[in-house]
Structure 1
Amino acid sequence: MKYFAVFLPMLDEEKSKHYRPDHLSYLEEKSNEGKIFAKGRFTDGTGGLVIYKANDLSEAEEMAKLDPYVAKGARNYEIREWDMVVTKS
């Protein structure tokens, strides 16, 4: 399993507010499937980040495109494979 960081920059704030419940429901569904490592909004209001777990880029991109924020034009997306490094304290 690979990790993919999906940045969700704001395109339309009103659409984002409108589709927020659908977006959160979608993320909950993906989380229950074990497909999300982490998620959250940027505190400056410019968008958010979801780190998906997927077999390859095409699977991660498909999940990103099906997010209601993206599908309904509230957010754009930018995706990068992420190589997580864990450090010991």
Structure 2
Amino acid sequence: MPWFVKIEEGIVDKPTFDKSVPAHKAYIQDLIAKGHQARSGYWIQKRGGMMLFEASSMEEAQAIVAQDPLVQNGCVKYELYEWRVVVQ
């Protein structure tokens, strides 16, 4: 299955963002349980973070990202890329 990367930048203040973090973590756990190999984290040096996951197509990846609580609650702007693994 192809890998996808959502690169995101926070666009709300930290207290507002933090309200969506528990739901985002639960969402990632659900993606893992469904076999998407999802990982999510944030940048130490700047606002924002990244989510890495597997999906069958760009269309499925877009649908997955659209369900992320950080996206649904307007906490981030993002770009979505298909990532080709060269070395495993």
Equivalence for 1:50: 51
5+ long unaligned stretches in structure 2: none
Q: List aligned pairs for 1:1-89, cutoff 5 A.
A: 1-12=1-12, 13-86=14-87
Q: Is the 8 A contact 2:38 2:54 kept in 1?
A: yes
Give the counterpart letter for 1:7 in structure 2. I
Note the alpha carbon deviations across 1:16-72, whole angstroms, 9 max, x for none: 111110010101110111113432211124111111101110100111111000000
Aligned residues: 87
Give the counterpart letter for 2:29 in structure 1. E
Give the counterpart letter for 2:22 in structure 1. P
* Aligned CA-pair RMSD: 1.4
Give the counterpart letter for 1:38 in structure 2. R
- TM value normalised by structure 1: 0.88
Percent identity at matched positions? 25
5+ long unaligned stretches in structure 1: none
Q: Is the 8 A contact 1:15 1:73 kept in 2?
A: no
